[in-house]
Amino acid sequence: MSATILCQDDALGTPLSWQLRSRMFDSKTGNDFANGTVRQTGKAVPEAIEITTNGVKTTHKVAGPWTSNWSLFEAVQRASADPARFTLLEDLDTVKPAHRLHRRGEETLTFAGKEVRATRYDQIGQGCLPRVYYVDGTGRLILTHTALRAYILDADVAETHRKKLALFAKRELK
């Protein structure tokens, strides 16, 4: 799966547009499974979200602030206050209303073998398991998890991507 998301520079990192491609294949043969490829584009339009998946367009009406679970990974790193209630676009295709993100304070975690102070944020809302985010003192999201999934920052990988993004910004990376 790969995705590119263009987000607004607001408290929630609201997606403006995105492209997503997902491919399922047989690991032994490398052949694609029938109907195993998903191509999706989406965009914010006034008071709605338009999503086109494999050529089929759907429109979801959304009133008020909204974001995606993937956009929150970035937005929580800039959080200075609890945002208002928002609608969550989970995995860029399922609308889930009445979400909230709350700053819960500082905690000490063991991360990469070291004790790290991190700010904890909790996200709750309709149709989702509660999610916890931990942001370290430098503003990096180092861990986020639900009861079923966890994403953990690999600092070495993050540095490699930071260098690639710097080259890309200078237009030196093709």
What pLDDT is stored for residue 139 in this prediction? 94
Please name which of 56, 1, 55, 3 lies closest in space to residue 23, comparing C-alpha atoms: 1
Tens of pLDDT along 111-170?
878 899 999 999 999 999 999 999 999 999 999 999 888 888 887 766 777 777 777 667
11: left (phi over 0), alpha (psi -120 to 50) or beta: alpha
Residue 83 scores a pLDDT above 70: yes
Q: Residue 90's pLDDT band (boundaries 50, 70, 90)?
A: very high
pLDDT of residue 102: 94
User: Which pair of tokens denotes residue 23?
Assistant: 């491919």
Q: What are φ and ψ of residue 72, in 5° steps? A: -65, -25
Phi, psi for 56 (deg, rounded to 5): -100, 120
- pLDDT for 32 beyond 90: no
Q: What's residue 163's pLDDT?
A: 76
Would you place residue 172 in the very low, low, confident or very high pLDDT band (cuts 50, 70, 90)? low
- Of 28 and 8, which is predicted with more confidence? 8
